[in-house]
């Protein structure tokens, strides 16, 4: 199975400042159709996860444009251009290339 590794484990952020989370996969997530099969989710405290980014860089419906996904192959990142208080929670990347689908261990974003 594909192993997903996220860093950092915890990320203290200042509102209004940018933030970035890294995700690496044990094998390439680049599909033959040219898309990277990598998704990002945010789980706020006490809530189910919500989809932020799919296929590496496509923002899900209703997701603010301060969130962006980038990367290809085995190295990916999620960037928040200006962090807001509502962005706190745990961020997960997930590989969608093959089953079993696997998640990274999560990055906890908290306000400084």
State the DSSP code for 60. P
Binding mask 20-59 for another protein (x = CB under 8 A): ---------------x-x-x-x-x----xxxx--xx----
Q: Please state, in angstroms and rounded to a whole number, the distance separating the CA atoms of residues 88 and 104.
A: 17
Q: Please state, in angstroms and rounded to a whole number, the distance separating the CA atoms of residues 90 and 11.
A: 10
Nearer to another protein, 39 or 87 (CB): 39
Nearer to another protein, 8 or 105 (CB): 105
Q: Residues 6 or more apart from 9 whose CB is under 8 A from it?
A: 105, 106, 107, 108
Nearer to another protein, 16 or 99 (CB): 99
Q: Which residues bind another protein (CB under 8 A)?
A: 35, 37, 39, 41, 43, 48-51, 54-55, 60-61, 92, 94, 96, 99-106
């Amino acid at each position: 199975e594909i192993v997903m590794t996220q860093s950092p484990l915890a990320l203290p952020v200042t509102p209004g400042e940018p933030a970035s989370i890294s995700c690496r996969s044990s094998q390439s997530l680049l599909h033959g159709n040219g898309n990277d099969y990598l998704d990002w989710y945010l789980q706020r405290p006490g809530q189910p996860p919500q989809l932020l980014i799919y296929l590496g860089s496509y923002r899900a419906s209703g997701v603010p444009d301060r969130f962006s996904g980038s990367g290809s192959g085995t190295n990916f990142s999620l960037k928040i251009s200006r962090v807001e208080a509502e962005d706190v929670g745990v961020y997960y990347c997930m590989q969608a290339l093959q089953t079993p689908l696997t998640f990274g261990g999560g990055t906890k974003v908290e306000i400084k």
